[in-house]
Structure 1
Amino acid sequence: MEKISKIFKYLVLSIAAFISIFPFVWMILGMTNKTIDITAGKIMIGDQLMINFQNLFNSDLNFHRALLNSAVIALLTTIFALFLSSMAGYGFEIFRSKRNDRIFSFLLLSMMVPFSAMMIPLYTMFSKLSNTPFGINTLFSVIIPSVSTAFLIFLFKQNIKAFPRSLVEAARIDGLGELAIFFKIYMPTAKNIYAAAAIITFMNSWNNYLWPLVALQSPEKRTVPLILSAMGASYTPDYGMIMSGIVIATLPIAIIFFVLQKQFVQGMLGSVK
C-alpha cells in the first residue's frame, strides 16, 4: 500500500507539473512557428524564429523602445520603493507609539482600496504637473505612485521585528545617528528581505498595465505590456511575433527570480516570524 500511495502521489504531482509548465513550453515553441501553425495547434519546433524576431523589432510598434521604457520604470521604481519603504518600516517599528500604530493601521486599510478607484484622482493630480518632469505622459508619472506601498512597508516592518534592539542601543551609545544605524547596521543584515521586496516590486512594475495605459499617451512612451496588448488587438495578429515578444518580456523576471530565489524564500520566511 505504501508503494501504491507513493506512485499515486508522484503521478498527481507529475500531472500538476505538466499542466503548470505546458503554457510556457507552448509559448517557446510558438515563437518558432508561423501564425497558421500556431492556430492549428502545432507543438513542434519550427523554422521561423529569426523571422519572428525581425518582424518584432522592425515593426512600427517600437518594441525595443518599449523594453527600454519598461526597464527604466521597473529599475527606478524598485530602487526608490526599497529605499522609502524600508525606511518607513524601520521607523514604524523602532519608534513605536500609539500615534504611529494608528497611522500604520490606516496605512494598512489603504490596501483595501482598489487601484482603479484612485486612477481619476491620480490622473487629475499629475495633469496639474503637466509642465514638469513629473506630469502626465512622463515615465515619472508611472514611477511615483508605486514607490511606496502599504504592502512593502508592512513587509519591512515585520522583518524588523526580528532585528536585535541591542544593536540599535549599542550603536546609539557609540554615538551613531539614526540614519547611520539604518544604513550601516540594519541594511547590511537585511539582504534577504531586500531581495524578496526587489523581486515583488520589479515584477509588479514590469507587468503593470492599467496605470501606464492611462498615464502614457505617446507611442514612444509605451511599455512592454501595452505593446503586447496592441499586438493582440490588431485585426490580423501575428501570433509568432506575439509569442516572441511574450518570451522576451518574461525573461527579465525569470532571470531575477532564479538568481534571487534563495534570498526570496529566506526573506519571506523571515518577514512573517
Structure 2
Amino acid sequence: MAKTKTVFTYIFLSAAAFISIFPFLWMLVSSTNSSVDVTQGRLLPGSFLGENLNKLINQVDILTALGNSAKISITTTVLALLISSLAGYGFEVYKSKAKDVVFNILLLSMMIPFAALMIPLYRMFGSITNFVPAIGIDTMAAVVIPTFATAFLIFFFRQSSKMFPKDLLEAGRMDGLSELGLFFRVYMPTMKTTYAAAAIITFMSSWNNYLWPLIVLQTPENQTIPLLISNLGSSYSPDYGVIMIAVVISTLPTALVFFVMQKHFVAGMVGSVK
C-alpha cells in the first residue's frame, strides 16, 4: 500500500513538473522554428535559430533595451535593499506604539492596486518634468523612484529581523559602534540570506515590469526589454520565431540571478517565515 502511494505521488509530481516546465520548453523550441512552424504548434527543434537571431538584431535595438532594463533593475534593487532594510530594521529594533501605527498604515497601502496610482503618479512626474527634467517623464529615474521602496519589502525585512540575534547589537554598542555602524557592520552581514532573497524578488519584478514603463517611457531609446517584446508582437504580421528568441534572451538574466542565488533565496524565505 505504501509503495503504491509512493508511485502515485511520484507520478503526480512528475506530471505537475512537466506542466510547469512545458511553456519554457516550448519557448526554447519555438525560438529555433519559423513563424509558420510556431503557429502550427511544432514541438520539435528547427533550424531557424540563427535566422531568427539575425532578424531580431536587424529589426530592433535589443542591446539598448537590455541595457536600459539592466540599469533600471540594478539601480532599483540596490536602492530597494538599502532603504527597505533600513526601514524594516528600524521598525523591529526600535519599537514603539507610534511606529506600529505607521507600520500598519504602510501595510494597508499594499491593498491599493497600482492601477489606482498610475494617474496620480503620472501627473506628479509630469509636474516634476517642468522643474527637474532629469527625474521627470521619459527618464529612467521616473521608473525607479516609485518602486525602490515597497511595503512588501519593508514587511519582509521586518519579519526577517525578528530572527536577528539582538545580543549582537548590545555587543556592538559596548564596542562603541554607532547605530548606523551597527546596521552596516553587524546587521547586514548577518542577514545576507534575507538580502539575497529580497534581491531576487526585486530584480525579477523590476526586470519584468511592463505597465509603468509603458506609461512613463515615451521614446524608443529608453524602452525596456518587455516593451520591445510587446512592440514585436503588436505588428501587423508578427514573426513568432523572432518574438520567441527575444523572450529567451530576456529570460536569461533573471534565470541566471535566480540559479546563482537559489540556496540563499530558499534560506532567506524560510527565515522570514519563521
Coarse TM-score class (shorter-chain normalised): over 0.9
User: Aligned letter for 2:191?
Assistant: A
Q: Give the structure 2 partner of residue 105 of structure 1.
A: 104
Q: Give the structure 2 partner of residue 206 of structure 1.
A: 207
User: Aligned letter for 1:28?
Assistant: L
**What SS is found at the alignment partner of 1:70?**
helix
Note if 1:236 corresponds to 2:244: no
1:108-257 alignment runs, 5 A limit: 108-130=107-129, 131-257=132-258
**What SS is found at the alignment partner of 2:261?**
helix
Q: 1:94-123: CA deviations, max 9, x gaps? A: 111000110000000000000111111111
Give how far 1:219 is off: 1.0
Q: Give the structure 1 partner of residue 11 of structure 2.
A: 11
Note if 1:39 corresponds to 2:39: yes
**What SS is found at the alignment partner of 1:201?**
helix
Q: Which moved more, 1:166-175 or 1:78-87?
A: 166-175
Aligned-CA RMSD value: 0.9
Note if 1:28 corresponds to 2:28: yes
Note if 1:95 corresponds to 2:94: yes
Give how far 1:22 is off: 1.0
Give how far 1:73 is off: 0.3
Q: Give the whole-Å Cα distance in 1 for the aligned partners of 2:25 and 2:5.
A: 29
Return the TM-score normalized by structure 1. 0.97
User: Aligned letter for 1:57?
Assistant: I
User: Aligned letter for 1:245?
Assistant: A
Give how far 1:159 is off: 0.9
Give how far 1:265 is off: 0.7
User: Aligned letter for 2:4?
Assistant: I
Q: Give the whole-Å Cα distance in 2 for the aligned partners of 1:191 and 1:174.
A: 22
Q: Give the structure 2 partner of residue 76 of structure 1.
A: 75
Question: Percent of aligned pairs with the same residue?
Answer: 56
Structure 1 runs (4+) deviating above 3 angstroms are none
Q: Aligned pairs, how many?
A: 272
Give how far 1:214 is off: 0.4
**What SS is found at the alignment partner of 2:45?**
coil
Q: Give the whole-Å Cα distance in 1 for the aligned partners of 2:174 and 2:14.
A: 57
Q: Which moved more, 1:136-145 or 1:124-133?
A: 124-133
Q: Give the structure 2 partner of residue 263 of structure 1.
A: 264
Consecutive unaligned residues of structure 2, counting only runs of 5 or more, are none
Give how far 1:3 is off: 2.4
Give how far 1:2 is off: 2.4
User: Aligned letter for 2:179?
Assistant: E
User: Aligned letter for 1:6?
Assistant: T
**What SS is found at the alignment partner of 2:134?**
coil
Q: Give the structure 1 partner of residue 62 of structure 2.
A: 63
